[in-house]
Amino acid sequence: MNFSRILTLIIIFYVQNIFSQDLSESFLKENAQLIINESKTCVFTTIDKVGSPSSRIMDPFVPKNDFIVYLVTNPKSRKVTEIKKDPRVVLTFQNMNGYITIKGTVSLIYGINEKNKFWKEDWTPYYKNKESALLLKVIPLSMEIVNSNAGISGDPDTWSPVKISF
């Protein structure tokens, strides 16, 4: 083997190691939680009656590190009609260094006990009482994450982000 061939192989090996991201799931989840904690809001996307995405900004509550997300809405809202037809949703959180996208399914919570347990006080001014609000519970199926400060980036060719399945 000549010198230029060896040098080429060394460069290929070096570049592959730089761009390969063998990041642990716990590291990814920890960084995802940081992004959620720094986000004041999220984009909540449902599927409308003609099958198109329908997005809005919402105020989430993520009480634990399991990525179950709670939100509250008016029971007569368009999103509730869309959720009843198709419970698949997407949530996107971002900060200055990256974003996470959670794909999941949402359930409608009518019971006052669960509302009391997962109620965020910031929601109170917008509702006459908890009974007049509808709690949404998003169970994650998968999560994509990009965080440039933590070295979590997408595939260098496709830009596809790192993904965790639940």
Residue 1 CB contacts under 8 Å (≥ 6 apart), including other chains: none
pLDDT (tens digit per residue) in 57-107: 999 999 888 999 999 999 999 999 999 999 999 999 999 999 999 999 999
- The C-alpha atoms of residue 45 and residue 57 are separated, in whole angstroms, by 9
- Residue 62 near residue 85 (C-beta atoms within 8 A): no
The runs of H, that is alpha helices, within the chain are 3-19, 25-38, 78-85, 112-118
The token duo for 141 is 């199926």
Which domains are present in the chain?
23-165 (2.30.110.10)
pLDDT (tens digit per residue) in 121-157: 999 999 999 999 999 999 999 999 999 999 999 899 9
Residue-level length of the chain: 166
